[in-house]
């Protein structure tokens, strides 16, 4: 663990490197961000990230961060909790709440409370009333590497019923090129949520085929040479379940399998990415479709939608999210 830089208020930002024989991760205390993922025998990073701290102070794409306390959108920045209407910070077009508001968990400097060669655990507490949400919410994120696998554990508890929905917001780019047009995707799911231009659900789930988003069979992420635009929730289940495969992403000889406990998988192909003059791994800035985010989570706007998965966490419960990412390199089979 080393001091990597400082927050605008002067607080130390720490960087922790964890590794196995096959993988090396760099994790920042700011946003609990996965900054870099390297695989043995692969020269480029497998995720989008910055080699400097300063771009992460803006980080409009939430690269690598843990987002919450409510990942994704809450329509009109309000919902009912325990019979009371709460209003939240409206950080999307001054109308909706996105990823927990302007000071969501992605922008906060977490505490590193435990680390060793292959694991790091980070902690944050979002106070009662923070971004308009009720309850003092304590959250821990653990990253663990073993062989070619990353396990992400997110656990949270509250002293007052609240909304709770976290996810890691890494963008993957497996071939090291400037966009994901040559990636192939499989999604183990038949239904998606139709959304409006702001990403707010328009109805109950519909067939993925209806929106040309059927990825049950491997499908290249391009359409006539242009990357496919996706920013939709794939409806894996109606409730949290045991760890199971959600998606497989591949490019050239590298692939990843993403498994999760969560009822939804938001897939975003990064149409809005733009890092400006800030260069990422590979020495170039990130533009539209530079990476794909695979975000296991509760469905968007669940607190305002009948029949969507339960987004509430009460004081007698514990939130437990588990995501596993398994990489493989067909050129380097042991």
Which sequence positions are flagged as catalytic?
A: 169, 295
Grouping H, G, I as helix, E, B as strand and the rest as coil, residue 155 is strand
β partners of residue 191: 207
β partners of residue 320: 155
DSSP assignment string, 246-288: EEEEEETTEEEEEEES-SEEEEE--TT---TT-B-TTSSB--T
**Could you tell me the end-to-end alpha-carbon distance of the chain, in angstroms, rounded to an integer?**
31
Only one residue has tokens 């949270």, namely 156
71's CB contacts (< 8 A; 6+ apart) are 99, 100, 165, 166, 167, 169, 266, 295, 297, 298
* Nearest one of 171, 186, 195 to 289, comparing CA atoms: 171
Give dist(CA 25, CA 118) in Å, integer: 9
DSSP assignment string, 208-244: GGGGT---SS-EESEETTEEPP-EEEEE--SS--S-E
Give dist(CA 238, CA 69) in Å, integer: 20
Give dist(CA 89, CA 266) in Å, integer: 22
Give dist(CA 126, CA 130) in Å, integer: 6
């Amino acid at each position: 663990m080393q001091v990597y830089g400082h927050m605008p208020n002067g607080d130390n930002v720490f960087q922790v490197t964890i590794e196995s024989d096959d993988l090396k991760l760099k994790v920042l205390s700011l946003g609990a961000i996965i900054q870099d993922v390297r695989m043995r025998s692969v020269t480029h990073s497998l995720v989008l990230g910055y080699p400097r701290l300063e771009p992460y102070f803006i980080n409009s794409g939430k690269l690598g961060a843990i987002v919450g306390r409510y990942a994704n959108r809450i329509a009109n920045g309000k919902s009912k909790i325990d019979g009371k209407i709460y209003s939240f910070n409206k950080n999307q077009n001054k109308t909706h709440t996105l990823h927990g508001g302007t000071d969501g968990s992605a922008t906060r400097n977490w505490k590193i409370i435990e680390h060793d060669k292959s694991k790091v655990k980070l902690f944050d507490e979002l106070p009662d009333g923070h971004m308009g949400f009720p309850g003092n919410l304590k959250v821990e994120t653990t990253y663990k590497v073993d062989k070619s696998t990353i396990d992400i554990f997110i656990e949270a508890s509250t002293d007052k019923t609240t909304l709770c929905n976290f996810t890691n917001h890494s963008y993957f780019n497996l071939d090291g090129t400037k966009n994901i047009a040559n990636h192939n995707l499989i999604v183990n799911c038949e239904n998606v949520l139709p959304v409006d231009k702001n990403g707010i659900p328009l109805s109950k789930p519909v067939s993925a085929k209806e929106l040309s988003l059927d990825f049950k069979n491997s499908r290249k992420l391009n359409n006539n040479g242009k990357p496919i635009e996706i920013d939709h929730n794939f409806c894996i289940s109606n409730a949290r379940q045991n760890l199971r495969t959600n998606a497989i992403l591949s490019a050239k000889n590298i692939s990843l399998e993403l498994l999760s406990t969560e009822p939804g998988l938001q897939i975003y192909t990064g149409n809005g990415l733009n890092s400006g003059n800030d260069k990422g791994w590979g020495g170039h800035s990130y533009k539209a479709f530079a990476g794909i985010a695979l975000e296991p989570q509760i469905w968007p706007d669940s607190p305002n939608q009948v029949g969507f998965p339960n987004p509430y966490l009460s004081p007698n419960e514990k939130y437990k999210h588990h995501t596993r990412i398994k990489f493989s390199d067909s050129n380097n089979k042991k």
